[in-house]
Amino acid sequence: MAYSFDNRIKFIVRYMYDIDNNGILDKNDFDCMAVRATIIETRGNFDQKLFEANQKAMKDLWLEFTNIADFDKDDKVTTEEFKKAVEKSIVGKKYAQFPKAFKLFITIAFKTIDINGDGIIGLDEFRMDAITRFAFNDIRPIDDAFNKLITEADKKVGGLTLARYEELFAEFLTSQDENNNAVYLFGPLSVL
């Protein structure tokens, strides 16, 4: 159940995009993402011009996202609406065919995990990302998830490149297969 399609959708909404933890996606989450993206991109500093650019990008993204996912037009996107948007907009498609809003979400997620900014998510960054969502009393489940996720080609470059991350994220969002290795993209999941 932890790796079912429904649970993965719940995970994405709750842990990736519902920044203010109010149970829905709304404009405030996107405002918060602008602050988060700015701080992460500047490695803890705050550049006002970058923030303004991120703020504009998030405003535009919110408008595009509501066109895709706000089916009842109440300026909020519930988990069910998000699931419906995924099923309608991206299931059965490769990353290149995704709407701009979903692509930008994925790029932002990569940047928040790639802490050192080298363009690769290594085991250390994968671990840091995984522990921000769930409590672990042992590192092995996190490391096992990473090892199930990466291929020999990934190992040769030291982890996940943006292109590989995009591919895996697309599979994480769209695959009905619980045995697909992409289900480990965010470490071990719990049933939500």
For residue 77, the model assigns a pLDDT of 96
pTM, to two decimals: 0.88
d(CA 123, CA 129): 10
For residue 49, the model assigns a pLDDT of 96
| Count of C-beta atoms within a 10 Å radius of residue 102 | 24
Cβ pair 32, 19 in contact under 8 A = yes
Cβ neighbours of residue 149 closer than 8 Å, sequence gap 6 or more: 160, 168, 181, 182, 184, 185
Question: How would you write the pLDDT of the chain (192 residues) with one tens digit per residue?
Answer: 899 999 999 999 999 889 999 999 999 999 999 998 888 888 889 999 999 999 998 898 899 889 999 999 999 999 999 999 999 989 889 999 998 888 988 988 898 899 888 999 999 999 999 998 888 999 999 999 999 999 999 999 999 999 999 999 999 999 988 889 999 999 999 999
For residue 124, the model assigns a pLDDT of 96
For residue 191, the model assigns a pLDDT of 93
Of the candidates 132, 133, 136, 115, the residue with the CA atom closest to the CA atom of residue 124: 115
d(CA 29, CA 129): 19
CATH topology of domain 5-184: Recoverin; domain 1 (1.10.238)
Of the candidates 170, 125, 126, 115, the residue with the CA atom closest to the CA atom of residue 148: 126
Q: What is the 3-class SS of the chain, one letter each residue?
A: CCCCHHHHHHHHHHHHHCCCCCCCEEHHHHHHHHHHHHHHHCCCCCCHHHHHHHHHHHHHHHHHHHHHHCCCCCCEECHHHHHHHHHHHCCCCCHHHCCHHHHHHHHHHHHHHCCCCCCEECHHHHHHHHHCCCCCCCCHHHHHHHHHHCCHHHHHHCCEEHHHHHHHHHHHHHCCCCCCHHHHCCCCCCCC
